[in-house]
Amino acid sequence: MIFTTLEHILTHISFSIISIVITIHLMILLVHEIVGLRDSLEKGMIATFFSITGLLVSRWISSGHFPLSNLYESLIFLSCSFSIIHMISKMGNHKNDLSTITAPSTIFTQGFATSGFLTEMHQSAILVPALQSQWLMMHVSMMLLSYAALLCGSLLSVALLVITFRKNIDIFFKGNNFLIKSFFFGEIQYLNEKRSVFKNTSFLSFRNYYKYQLTQRLDYWSYRVISLGFTFLTIGILCGAVWANEAWGSYWNWDPKETWAFITWTIFAIYLHTRTRIHIRSRTNQNLQSTNSALVASIGFLIIWICYFGINLLGIGLHSYGSFTLTST
């Protein structure tokens, strides 16, 4: 009994902390830069991570099995993975704005999980025989970590596309924001010194320079995060195949969920291939390449959601543990 109350308390704590974190982010971005608050943001995200992990651990203890048996638990795990990704990206002490993607993602998945759609899954349930295996931990956790990383990376690519194709970027010029300067004179600087844009050593305009810097940064971070996610996805799919061989006798059954996971893998392999080994001779080609790969990553965003959620909605096939029906509550 104590663990269920603990679970409730931790759910509330994680939800509120992350709401505060997002509010502060928005304040900083739109209103006024307060340097001291950045530290508290970091601490806030770490606190969220601990409370979500605590939630999962208390669920584990109270139910006796690893907390990944239905959609609710996998969503909680997904929000935990988002906060892990956030912390990994901060580990190298790079100044990046990945937190603008990870923090809202965490809160949205957490919010959806705890919302009214899935109330019947909130109680810890028993594990069906097919799921009673050590492989459960490895396969499902790897898949969820990879989903989190790939979602972050593809959201960054979507942001890149949006910024590339917008005519006016008004939001960045509210007032004389020091924030922008600190963003853009950051590490990304060295990446751009050799670009053709600096052949003529005068800039086309203030705006184009910042826009270019921002797209370069987004491109780079999207590439790194997606490569990480791709590694996890590979490991997750292969663990799933080995588990299937142990449980059902064949390592690949063209199950809808398996097939869509493979499609996701293929799309992100295409993404990685569009970025490599192509001679870039001019700035326009460079932009074209990054736009192409961003386009592929955006398609990947949709594919991941179909793979994770869409198949569960259909509720067919061997992976039906994660299914749920949309009832109007």
Partner 1 sequence: MSSLLLNPNRAFSPLSRQVLKASFSSLCSISNARILLGSCPTAHRVVGFTPRASRDSFDAEALPESNTKKKSRNNNKKIILFGSAPSPLSEERGGSAGNASGKPAAEGSSWVFLQRAFKRVLAVLSNLPLAIGQMFTIAALMALGTVIDQGEAPDYYFQKYPEENPVFGFVTWRWVLALGFDHMFTSPVFLGMLILLASSLMACTYTTQIPLVKVARRWSFTHSAEAIRKQDFADSLPRASIQDLGIILMGAGYEIFLKGPSLYAFKGMAGRFAPIGVHLAMLLIMAGGTLSAAGSFRGSVTVPQGLNFVVGDVMNPNGFLSFPSEAFDTEVHVNRFYMDYYDSGEVSQFYTDISLYSLDGKELMRKTIRVNDPLRYGGITIYQTDWGFSALQITKNGEGPFNLAMAPLQLNGDKKLFGTFLPTGDADSPNVKGISMLARDLQSIVLYDQEGKFAGVRRPSSKLPIDINGTRIVVEDAIGSSGLDLKTDPGVPLVYAGFGALMLTTCISYFSHSQIWALQDGTTVIVGGKTNRAKLEFCDEVNRLLDEVPERVTTDKNMNG
Chain contacts with partner 1 (rule: CB under 8 A): 35, 92-95, 126-130, 132-133, 135, 178, 181-182, 185-196, 198-199, 201-203, 220, 224, 227-228, 230-231, 234-235, 238, 241-242, 245-252, 254, 256, 259-260, 262-263, 266-267, 269-270, 273-274, 277-281, 286
Contacts of 203 (CB under 8 A, 6+ apart): 197, 209
Token pair 């956790």 is found at: 141
> In the numeric block, which tokens belong to residue 304?
């991941």
Q: Which is nearer to partner 1, 9 or 263 (CB)?
A: 263
Q: Which is nearer to partner 1, 166 or 181 (CB)?
A: 181
> In the numeric block, which tokens belong to residue 21?
């974190």
Q: Which is nearer to partner 1, 79 or 286 (CB)?
A: 286
Q: How many CB atoms neighbour CB 132 within 10 A?
A: 12
One-letter amino acid of 279: H
Q: Which is nearer to partner 1, 192 or 291 (CB)?
A: 192
One-letter amino acid of 233: L
Q: From the CB of 151, what's the least distance to partner 1, in Å? A: 18
Q: From the CB of 12, what's the least distance to partner 1, in Å? A: 28
Q: From the CB of 160, what's the least distance to partner 1, in Å? A: 16
End-to-end CA distance of the chain: 27
Q: From the CB of 159, what's the least distance to partner 1, in Å? A: 18
Half-sphere exposure of 209 (CA within 13 A, CB side): 15
Q: From the CB of 246, what's the least distance to partner 1, in Å? A: 6
Q: Which is nearer to partner 1, 10 or 217 (CB)?
A: 217
One-letter amino acid of 13: I
Q: How many CB atoms neighbour CB 187 within 10 A?
A: 11
Q: Which is nearer to partner 1, 15 or 260 (CB)?
A: 260
Q: What is the CA radius of gyration of the chain?
A: 21
Q: From the CB of 167, what's the least distance to partner 1, in Å? A: 22
One-letter amino acid of 64: G
Largest CA distance in the chain: 70
